Amino acid sequence: MFRFRRSAPRLSVDEARARTSGDRPEAVLLDVREKPEWRAGHAPDAVHAPLTGLAAGAALPAAAQRRPLVVICRSGHRSQRAAKLLTEQNADAVDVEGGMNAWAAAGFPVVDERGNSGSIA
């Protein structure tokens, strides 16, 4: 398993997908968008933890605890803030450049809350 460096560069969507998918992913894809955005469309294996909750002191979901985190939002701005916040709390976290907009543009799957084809709000 790899460890993210504190000063790790941002990941491309290709790197993010490679690290967070497959039978034994190296990291958890942590989506920090708000609930309506999550419901409209997210990566199939992502874990949801809105930045507003994290900033207010909410704990990470169990599936993301003690795991390297690849943090994603819509465009990459909130994920940068979330990755910084999580790193300050001693988590291994790095964000995805371009966020879910870049993810969808790369042709990677996006599902809604029911598992159907989703969209990026």
Indicate the pLDDT class of residue 60, thresholds 50, 70 and 90.
very high
**Average pLDDT, integer, range 74-99:** 96
Find out whether 32 and 51 touch, Cβ atoms under 8 Å: yes
Catalytic residues: 73
Indicate the pLDDT class of residue 44, thresholds 50, 70 and 90.
very high
Calpha distance 8→104 (Å, rounded): 23
Indicate the pLDDT class of residue 84, thresholds 50, 70 and 90.
very high
